[in-house]
Structure formats: structure tokens, C-alpha cells
């Protein structure tokens, strides 16, 4: 078990571990509710339930158990079963896959295939197709209940106006990871062999207790004073920035600051879209990112209470300005229209994935080779995907509308080992 905090006295661990488990597993058991609530039979609440990209992790920290579990939900098939495969332009996804190899090449199952992939010259549509069909096997992704149809949603990289200092206009803070946030990893203990996630908490005297909720953080600015990265002008846009997990902040001098997910406060995500449906504020068919934002502007007196029903809070870090896209869970920049967030317990992170769905709010087929480069707290189950649209205004529109039925096939090297 690893506890990360510079102020933590490791001698407290034995005496307070039980306290933390009781507080967390009773008070925060919802950390696992996304697993159960977002299977294909019960889709997550609409449109605002996008992926939360993780901070890049060293390759060896990627859970190898995920690869072992993934093949249990995969069924060997043939290339002819992939809708539109012969007509798909593979080159954009190939470039994205080569990016993934910067991380995958350190993993035994992918080393050889990545070395071979980088030697293809010249890179042409036919050369890529031949390589994939000769070196990979397609597997259809299967849900736990044996079905093959699931849900595809979309996410994007928001663009917000902001400042590096607090003003009357820019008064909503984006926080960096607090110094007093504890992260407890259970992976090296017997408890870590099951579904128990890493835990978050803070010290109070000699006790470890749950970290502050969204309401506590927002209602008492002194709790995280000094950890403000930036300030923005719109609390609804800030809320959706936390859902998306990365973004770009345009400062008053024209400078654009890129930020990405750093950590969270340990609480489960709760969909405000579902809350609005349950309260009769919006009909289910109408709920989207746009309609939720519109509801907030029409009901300012109810807005804060609604947002704070989602206790989960995301902390950010500033990213290098030259990054081509936000950093996904694989640790490489995401590519608009080609990066996909998946459940790594069903699909190996980094693998090519053939997605068969439809364009948002239409019946027009969208068949595309994607790369599984990201994960998300609401992306759980077999056939469950979150399509990264990019950072343009059009990307925001498409991501906000996307809630489509989908099928998925994962492509694994022929020598791939569980």
C-alpha cells in the first residue's frame, strides 16, 4: 500500500487505516457505482457524462489485470464482419496508433508489433491495411450479459475565458492538487485484489477522513487558498470543464493556457442530467450538455445547489503549450476524431478499436478505426465508448449531442498474450 503525501507520518497508517476504510467505504461507496450503473443495459445519464482524462502515468502502473480480464469479453471474428472496413481511411488512425506506441512499446505484448509498425515505408493506405490484417486479429467486444450493442457518447476539450488573477469578472477558481490530499493505493495489499479503488482523504489530527466535497470547497474558498491555477468567468462552464477533464483557457492578453486532469477528491461522479430528469426539470429526451447549460442560465437561484449534488471535484495542472492535444490515460496526446475513451477492464488501453455507430442525432453510419487512448469515470462496461471530438466549437456541439448505439471490435496483435 502506498500513501502519497509529504506531510503524512507513516506511523499513523496502522492506527487510522480502519477509520479511513469505514469512512470511505460507507460514505464513498459510490466510487464503484459507475461500474454498475453504466453497463449497456443502463446507460449513463446523457451527454454530460463524458470521460475524465487521467494524468499520464508511468507505463508500468497500467493495470496488467485489465488485459487479462479484457479477453474474457472479446470474441474472435473476421475482418469481413467489421461494417465498412474495406472503405475506411486508415491513415489518420495509423498516425494516432504510432503515437500510442511511445507507451505501448514498453509492454511485452506490444513491443514487437510497435517496432514493426514504425518500419513501414512508405506509409500508404494499402500498406497500413495489409499490416493490420496480417499482424492483428479482430475481436468483437461483448457485454457482460452477452449482447454486442452498447453506448457511444462524446467529449471535447473546452475553451474558456480566464485570468491568472481574481477579478470581478473572473471569480471562479480552477484549483491545482491540494497539498493535504492523501492518495492511498491498495494494489499492493490483499484488499487491493478486488474492486476497491485507490482512496482519497485528508488528515484531521490523528485521523484520516474523507476529503472535502464540492460543496465544502466551493462554499469556503479558504480551504484551498493559494492553490488557484487560474480563474474563469462562468461556473457552469467550469463544471463542464471538470467533466471533460482538460481544457484551454484564453487569457485577457490572448495567451492560451492548456490544462489537464491532475487528481480528484475521491467522491463518485453523480450525473446532474439524471438529477434534472428525476426532479422533473427536464424530460429525458431533451437532456444534453446544451440544455443543461440553458437550464442553469434560466434558473440561477437553483444552479449552485444542483451542481453541488455532484460531490466529485477535479483538480488540474498546467500542460506544456506545445502539446497537440490533451493527455489521455495512456500518457500521450489525444487526437480529435481518432482517440477513444474505453473501460480498460474490457478493452486493453492503447489498442486499435473499430467503432461502428452513427453520427450524433442521426442515423448516418459512422464507422471508424479509433485508438483506445483514454478512460473515464463514467465509461464502464464492455461496449461503452467516449469519442474525443477535439476543441473546436463544432467539437463541443457534436460531443454534446452524441448518445448513440454502437458496436466495437478491438484489434490485438496475433502474438498478444493475456
Per-residue pLDDT of the chain (418 residues; tens, 9 = 90+): 344 444 444 344 434 444 444 444 444 433 333 332 232 333 334 344 444 444 443 333 333 344 445 456 899 999 999 999 999 999 999 999 999 999 998 898 899 999 999 999 899 999 999 999 999 999 999 999 999 999 999 999 999 999 999 999 999 999 999 999 999 877 655 554 445 567 899 999 999 999 999 999 999 999 999 999 999 999 999 999 999 889 999 999 999 999 999 999 999 999 999 999 999 999 998 888 889 999 999 999 999 999 999 999 999 999 999 888 899 999 999 999 999 999 999 999 999 999 999 999 999 999 999 999 999 878 999 999 999 999 988 998 999 899 999 999 999 999 887 5
Domain presence at residue 16: no
How many distinct structural domains can be found in the chain? Answer: 1
> Rounded to two decimals, what is the model's pTM?
0.73
State residue 129's pLDDT score: 96
Domain presence at residue 93: yes
Domain presence at residue 118: yes
State the pairing for strand pair 246-250/159-163: parallel
Domain presence at residue 120: yes
Domain presence at residue 77: yes
Domain presence at residue 307: no
State residue 190's pLDDT score: 53
Domain presence at residue 363: yes
Domain of 360: which CATH number? 2.40.40.10
Domain presence at residue 192: no
Residue 153: give the domain boundaries: 64-157+328-418
State residue 405's pLDDT score: 97
Amino acid at each position: 500500500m502506498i500513501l502519497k503525501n509529504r506531510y503524512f507520518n507513516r506511523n499513523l497508517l496502522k492506527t487510522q487505516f480502519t477509520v479511513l476504510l469505514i469512512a470511505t467505504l460507507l460514505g464513498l461507496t459510490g466510487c464503484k457505482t459507475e461500474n454498475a450503473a453504466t453497463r449497456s443495459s443502463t446507460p449513463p445519464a446523457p451527454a454530460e457524462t463524458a470521460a475524465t482524462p487521467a494524468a499520464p502515468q508511468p507505463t508500468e502502473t497500467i493495470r496488467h489485470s485489465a488485459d487479462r480480464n479484457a479477453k474474457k469479453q472479446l470474441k474472435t471474428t473476421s475482418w469481413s464482419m467489421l461494417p465498412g472496413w474495406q472503405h475506411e481511411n486508415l491513415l489518420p488512425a495509423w498516425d494516432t496508433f504510432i503515437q500510442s506506441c511511445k507507451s505501448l512499446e514498453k509492454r511485452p505484448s506490444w513491443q514487437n508489433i510497435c517496432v514493426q509498425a514504425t518500419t513501414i515505408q512508405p506509409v500508404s493506405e494499402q500498406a497500413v491495411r495489409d499490416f493490420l490484417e496480417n499482424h492483428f486479429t479482430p475481436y468483437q467486444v461483448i457485454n457482460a450479459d452477452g449482447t454486442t450493442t452498447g453506448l457511444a457518447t462524446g467529449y471535447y476539450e473546452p475553451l474558456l475565458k480566464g485570468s491568472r488573477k481574481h477579478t470581478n469578472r473572473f471569480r471562479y477558481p480552477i484549483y491545482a492538487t491540494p497539498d493535504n490530499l492523501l492518495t492511498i493505493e491498495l494494489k499492493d495489499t490483499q484488499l487491493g485484489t478486488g474492486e476497491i479503488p485507490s482512496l482519497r482523504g485528508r488528515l484531521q489530527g490523528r485521523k484520516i477522513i474523507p476529503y472535502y466535497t464540492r460543496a465544502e470547497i466551493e462554499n469556503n474558498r479558504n480551504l484551498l487558498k493559494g492553490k488557484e491555477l487560474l480563474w474563469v468567468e462562468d461556473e457552469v462552464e467550469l463544471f463542464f470543464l471538470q467533466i471533460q477533464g482538460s481544457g484551454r483557457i484564453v487569457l485577457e492578453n490572448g495567451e492560451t493556457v492548456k490544462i489537464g486532469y491532475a487528481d480528484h477528491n475521491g467522491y463518485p461522479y453523480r450525473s446532474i442530467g439524471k438529477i434534472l430528469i428525476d426532479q422533473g426539470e427536464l424530460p429525458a429526451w431533451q437532456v444534453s450538455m446544451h440544455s443543461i447549460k440553458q437550464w442553469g442560465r434560466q434558473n440561477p437561484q437553483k444552479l449552485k445547489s444542483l451542481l453541488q449534488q455532484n460531490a466529485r471535484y477535479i483538480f488540474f495542472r498546467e500542460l506544456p503549450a506545445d502539446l497537440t492535444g490533451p493527455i489521455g490515460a495512456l500518457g500521450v496526446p489525444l487526437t480529435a476524431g481518432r482517440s477513444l475513451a474505453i473501460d480498460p477492464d474490457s478493452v486493453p488501453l492503447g489498442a486499435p478499436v473499430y467503432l461502428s455507430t452513427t453520427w450524433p442525432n442521426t442515423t448516418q453510419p459512422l464507422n471508424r478505426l479509433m485508438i483506445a487512448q483514454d478512460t473515464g469515470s463514467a465509461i464502464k462496461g464492455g461496449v461503452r465508448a467516449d469519442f474525443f471530438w477535439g476543441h473546436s466549437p463544432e467539437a463541443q456541439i457534436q460531443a454534446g449531442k452524441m448518445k448513440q448505439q454502437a458496436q466495437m471490435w478491438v484489434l490485438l496483435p496475433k502474438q498478444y498474450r493475456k
